Homo-oligomer: A and B are copies of this chain.
């Protein structure tokens, strides 16, 4: 018999300028039917782990020309999560299955667009890792050369750096606290790491770690770090442009002044989004799972407990509060 159950939700209040604040979101007690409408092909999931990602800031502005539509004011925030199927009207998903995909920041979500859901098959890694270690994946530049990674202890940076080490690169990372720098050097196997907040001249800092230049820069931040890296690139260097997190909240972004280096050093700069590389996902999962089981990859999560903590966890991304991939645990099962 169909019943309605309580459903705590995190609501997006309205479009913002500047860095996100907790007060831009609101906790609300909602309701949800505990059965999937028959004929809908959907699934009802119980959300276990929610991913906090900087790109979500982009959905908080009223900009309809983006690669991803804005959040709707008054609606529940949406993001990547790991969930458990509690009711199903779809032959591909059974009650009890674990899935990852786009879900809501709430206890229960009715997901009708099931094409984007992935059933989690492996039991070899912790469930929450599916929104991080396996939830994102990167086409790492294939080389054995000096590589620099910014925001290196973050969700993307930590994996990029470790994969580059596996491929034999000399890898240096930057991060924003002594704790993160220690993590990079002592736990994640980076050759060197530095705290960018303690450097008065980023150009000089990079010259210290890369006296003969950088071959690959994996850019997670943009802004002044990108400008300094351009000065230190080697001829034919490559820059993968991923996050530009430093620019997410600014309406008047920093100007990059050293782009002339692209010509003089014949640099290639490439932006990318995960969605383009979905076809590579299955082999990526296999490879990462093997690396993890062989302890070649270590993975650092910053886990907040409870749906109530989701707004503060998200806001913390933009002040560098998180150490490692930021995840919110809604429920452990």
> In the complex where A254-B255, A255-B254 touch, is A269 in contact with B262 (Cβ < 8 A)?
yes
A263 interface hit (Cβ, 8 Å): yes
Report the minimum CB–CB distance from A45 to chain B (whole Å).
Answer: 29
A226 interface hit (Cβ, 8 Å): yes
Of residues A254, A260, A267, which shows the largest number of chain B Cβ atoms within 10 Å of its Cβ?
A260
A145 interface hit (Cβ, 8 Å): no
A319 interface hit (Cβ, 8 Å): no
Task: Choose one: B67, B265, B270, B271; the contact of A271 (CB below 8 Å).
Answer: B265
The interface stretch among A35-43, A236-244, A284-292, A297-305 is A236-244
> In the complex, what residues of B have CB within 8 A of residue A167's CB?
none
> In the complex, what residues of B have CB within 8 A of residue A270's CB?
262, 266-269
How distant is the Cα of A225 from the Cα of B205 in the complex, in angstroms?
32
Closest to A253 in B: B257
Task: Choose one: B67, B226, B256, B263; the contact of A264 (CB below 8 Å).
Answer: B67
> In the complex, what residues of B have CB within 8 A of residue A262's CB?
241, 269-271
9 residue pairs from A and B, CB less than 8 Å apart: A67-B265, A241-B263, A244-B259, A244-B260, A253-B257, A254-B257, A255-B255, A261-B271, A268-B270
Besides the known contacts A262-B271, A267-B270, A269-B270, 14 further A-B residue pairs in the complex with CB atoms under 8 A apart: A66-B264, A67-B235, A242-B263, A243-B263, A252-B257, A253-B257, A254-B257, A256-B257, A256-B259, A262-B270, A266-B270, A266-B276, A268-B268, A268-B269
